[in-house]
Amino acid sequence: MQYRTLGRTGVQVSTLVLGAMNFGPIGGTTQDEATAIVDAALEAGVNLVDTADMYGTGVSEEMVGRAIAGRRDDLVLATKATMPMGDERNHRGSSRRWLVTALEDSLRRLGVDHVDLYQMHRWDPLTSDEETLSALTDLRRAGKIRYFGSSTFPAYRIVEAQWAAREHHLGRYVTEQPSYSILQRGVEAHVLPVTEQYGLGVLVWSPLASGWLSGAVRAGREITTNRSKTLPRRFDTSLPANRARLEAVEQLAKVADEAGLTMIQLALGFVTAHPAVTSAIIGPRTVEHVRSQLAAADTVLPADVLDAIDSIVAPGVDLAPEEKVDTPPALLDPALRRR
């Protein structure tokens, strides 16, 4: 396992991070399976576990808490807030009112007295940066969080938050968690240059592109990834964007074969090769999944392989732009762009 410094924090983290989204209802992973996955990851040298309050409406945090019991001090623990936690309109977002409550709930479910990294799961357009950063700064001073970060923020919102922290003398986000893979490279154009400029640690999610880069999606074969059941449109090969992805996957498979790599090693080695990236988040559902992904822990792609990838999917290009989750709200809601 390789280790890198998380931004400018001085904290050393593994280049592969264990993501717990599949623990519980979302992925169907049971507690025994989750504990076995955590055991395998920690044994392989993973030292950062990432979850969120909305994963299974708190179930993932509870399962992580049970899985890490007795070894909390051996790992860096990260969770997130802001996504809806029920129907009550104020049980979401980045207001002080909600974040104080949400963090207490997360600590209780995790069975800990603090988290190392508390991330805003999405930008909340209804709440000012000053309000959010002020609350997070106070929670840090209270010892309930060590650092705080953002997740899937557009580049301009990352800049705005850094400016607000400086303007109001508040703590700043020290990490960003964007979606990044060989098939979705849009963050290379704007987000990653900004994170480098501000010295943010970067933990990328969906490096296997929801299973497209795991080897489970190939031409002429039945699609076996679990995500094809929960998000069927994302894997409907009658759609132009998915046909383009499938064509790219077939070409990438040839590159992997010629380099003596699995598709998983190619995909994870690609994202961790970018100088702005600290770590890649893996989200296994089973012990077999985590072992196949941990096999990529020491993968370093040579320049000719990276060049071959660039020739298949150009830098800065998203093959499925409609799936981007950091699109400015005004592009999605007509009411926000019309008088």
Close Cβ partners of 299 (under 8 Å, ≥ 6 residues apart) = 261, 265, 266, 268, 269, 272
Active site residue 55: yes
On the CB side of 143, CA atoms within 13 Å amount to 2
| Residue among 177, 178, 175 nearest 187 (CA) | 178
Selected catalytic residue, list 55, 118, 173, 180: 55
CA of 202: how far to CAs of 164, 278, 338, in Å? Answer: 20, 5, 35
Please tell me the distance from the alpha carbon of residue 284 to that of residue 36, in angstroms, as a whole number: 11
Strands (E), the chain: 3-5, 12-14, 16-19, 48-50, 76-81, 115-120, 145-151, 175-177, 201-204, 279-282
- Tokens 């998000």 belong to 231
| Residue among 274, 82, 291, 311 nearest 180 (CA) | 274
Residues marked active site are found at 55
